[in-house]
Chains A and B, each alone.
Chain A
Amino acid sequence: MIKCEILLTVNEESHSIIARQADTLLFVLRNQLGLTGAKPGCLNGDCGACTVLVDKTPIKSCMMLAIEAAEKPITTIEGLCDTPIQRAFIEQFAFQCGYCTPGFLINAYALTKQHPDADDETIQEWLESNICRCTSYQEIEQAVKSVLAKKHEND
C-alpha cells in the first residue's frame, strides 16, 4: 500500500497519521499535524528553514521521509518554550521577517545544548546550514553568543 499509518512523536506527543510513504517529514508536520512552524524554503536541502530535531539532531525535514522518523523523538519550533535562545533572538533583534527563524532557532538551540563551549569555528560550522535573507547574521551571532556566555556564567 502506498499510504500507510505512521506513528510520530512530536514535541513529546504521539500522533498516528496516514500518509504517503514518499511524503517528507516537513509535509506531514505541516499539512497533517498543522505544525507550520517548520518552513518550506526550497524543499531541496539548501536553506535550512525546515530544520527540526530528530533524535536531538538537526535535520532538514524536507529531505527526510516522515516514515523514517517514525518512533523517534521529533522536536519542532513549537516544542521550544521560553528557552534562552528564543529570548536571545528577540533581545538581539536576530530576525525580521521571521521566516528563517524557526529553522535557525532549532539549529542554534541544538548547538547551544550540545556545545556549550562552542568556539567561533563550531558556531559557523553549525549555523552556515541556514540562510537568512533579512538580517546581517551579526545579530544572530550575538544572540547565540549571548546564550553561550550565560551558560558559562551559570557554570
Chain B
Amino acid sequence: MVPFDFTYHRPSSIEEAVRLFERLHKQGKTPLYYGGGTEIITLSRLNLAFADAVIDIKHIPECCVLRIEQNELTLGAALSLTSIEEANPFPLLTKTASEVADRTARNQITLGGNVCGQIFYRETVLPLLLADCHVVIAGKDGLKQRSIHEVFQQRMRLEHGEFLVQVKIDLSYVSLPHAHTKRRKQGKVGYPLVTVAAIKKDERLHVAFSGVCPFPFRSKTVEEQLNARHLPIETRISRALQYLPKPILNDTEGSVEYRLFVLMNALSDILIPLEEG
C-alpha cells in the first residue's frame, strides 16, 4: 500500500522519458524512474521513499535489450534478474543475481533497479565492477557512455534526471575464471552477511564486496594486497582487510567481529581455487 499518490508514466523512448522527467520536475513534482518497482513500493510503505510521479522504463526498447555484438554484451537496465539468469550471457552475473532476494521477486527486480537502488546491497553491481563495464546513461543532453568506475562510487552517481539505460561488457570478461559466494546470517534466502565476487584476469584477481560496508565496492588497494602473490594467502587477506573503505558493518545481520570472521573464510574459499585454477 503506497500511502501517497503518484502518476504513472510509460514512455516508449529514451527521449520521451527524459523529457517527461524534466517536465514533471518543472511542475514542482518529484519524479522517480521506475524499474521493477519493488524497492519503490516497499520503501514507500514505510515512508522511506517518495514520488509523486513514476516513469516506468520497462517499455523503452533500449532498456530491454540483451545482445551480444562485436565482442560486447549489452544488457538493458530494465531486464529482470531472472531473464538475465535464464539467458546466462555472463555466468558470474547469473550466479550473483540468482542469490538476490527470491526467484519470484527476481522476476520483477531489474538490473538497473538493483544497481541504482537505495537498499545498499546492490549485489548485481559486483560482476559489473569486476568486468570494468561501461554504462549508458540517458540525460538532458542525450546518451553518454562512461566507465562504471566513474559513476559507481558506493552508489550510482547519476545527475538529476538521468537514468541508466544499459550496461556494456567486454566479452573477453564474461568467460574469465570467476567465483562468487554469498554468506547469510542463517538460511538460504535473505540479505547477505557478506557477498564476495571475483574474477581472474591476466593472473590478477579482481574482487568486489557487498554487505561488508554499507555499500558495495571494489577497491584498488584491497586488490593490490590480495594480489601480492609472494605472501601466503592468509597474510594477504588480513592485510587487505585493513584497507576496507569503511569500517565493517555492525547490524542485525551480524556483528563486526563475526562478519570479519566470515569474510576471511569467504575470501580464502573463493580466492585459493581461483588462484590455483
Do A and B form a real pair? yes
Binding site for B on A (CB under 8 A): 1-2, 20-24, 27, 43-45, 48, 51, 57-60, 62-65, 67-68, 107, 124-126, 128-130
Is the beta-carbon distance between B103 and A129 smaller than 8 angstroms?
yes
Is the beta-carbon distance between B104 and A51 smaller than 8 angstroms?
yes
B181: Cβ under 8 A from any A Cβ? no
Is the beta-carbon distance between B98 and A125 smaller than 8 angstroms?
yes
Is the beta-carbon distance between A126 and B1 smaller than 8 angstroms?
no
Is the beta-carbon distance between A2 and B5 smaller than 8 angstroms?
yes
Contact of A63 among B5, B6, B37, B188 (CB under 8 A): B37
Taking CB as reference atom, which chain A residue is nearest B44?
A22
Contacts A125-B103, A128-B102 given: A63-B8 contact, CB under 8 Å? no
Q: How far is the CA of A95 from the CA of B41 in the complex (A)?
A: 29
Is the beta-carbon distance between B103 and A126 smaller than 8 angstroms?
yes
Is the beta-carbon distance between A63 and B108 smaller than 8 angstroms?
yes
Which of A21, A45, A129: most chain B Cβ within 10 A? A45
Taking CB as reference atom, which chain B residue is nearest A124?
B188
Is the beta-carbon distance between A128 and B189 smaller than 8 angstroms?
yes
Is the beta-carbon distance between A129 and B5 smaller than 8 angstroms?
no
Is the beta-carbon distance between B37 and A64 smaller than 8 angstroms?
yes
Is the beta-carbon distance between B37 and A21 smaller than 8 angstroms?
no
B37 to chain A, nearest CB (A): 6
Residues of B within 8 A of A23 (CB): 2
B4: Cβ under 8 A from any A Cβ? yes
Is the beta-carbon distance between B42 and A63 smaller than 8 angstroms?
yes
Is the beta-carbon distance between A59 and B41 smaller than 8 angstroms?
no
Residues of B within 8 A of A48 (CB): 102, 104
Q: How far is the CA of A75 from the CA of B42 in the complex (A)?
A: 23
The 7 A-B pairs of least Cβ separation, nearest first, read A129-B104, A129-B102, A22-B2, A21-B8, A2-B5, A58-B104, A63-B38
Residues of A within 8 A of B42 (CB): 44-45, 63
Q: How far is the CA of A62 from the CA of B40 in the complex (A)?
A: 12
Q: How far is the CA of A129 from the CA of B105 in the complex (A)?
A: 8
A41 to chain B, nearest CB (A): 13
Q: How far is the CA of A67 from the CA of B2 in the complex (A)?
A: 14
Q: How far is the CA of A59 from the CA of B58 in the complex (A)?
A: 15
Q: How far is the CA of A60 from the CA of B44 in the complex (A)?
A: 16
Q: How far is the CA of A58 from the CA of B98 in the complex (A)?
A: 16
Which of B5, B58, B188: most chain A Cβ within 10 A? B5
List 22 A-B residue pairs with CB atoms under 8 Å apart, sorted by A's residue number.
Answer: A2-B5, A21-B7, A22-B5, A22-B6, A23-B2, A24-B41, A43-B45, A44-B45, A45-B38, A45-B41, A51-B104, A58-B104, A59-B108, A60-B105, A64-B41, A64-B108, A65-B37, A107-B104, A124-B188, A126-B103, A126-B104, A128-B188
Which of B37, B45, B102: most chain A Cβ within 10 A? B102
Given contacts A21-B5, A24-B41, A65-B37, 7 further A-B contacts (CB under 8 A): A2-B6, A22-B4, A27-B1, A45-B38, A65-B8, A126-B103, A129-B103
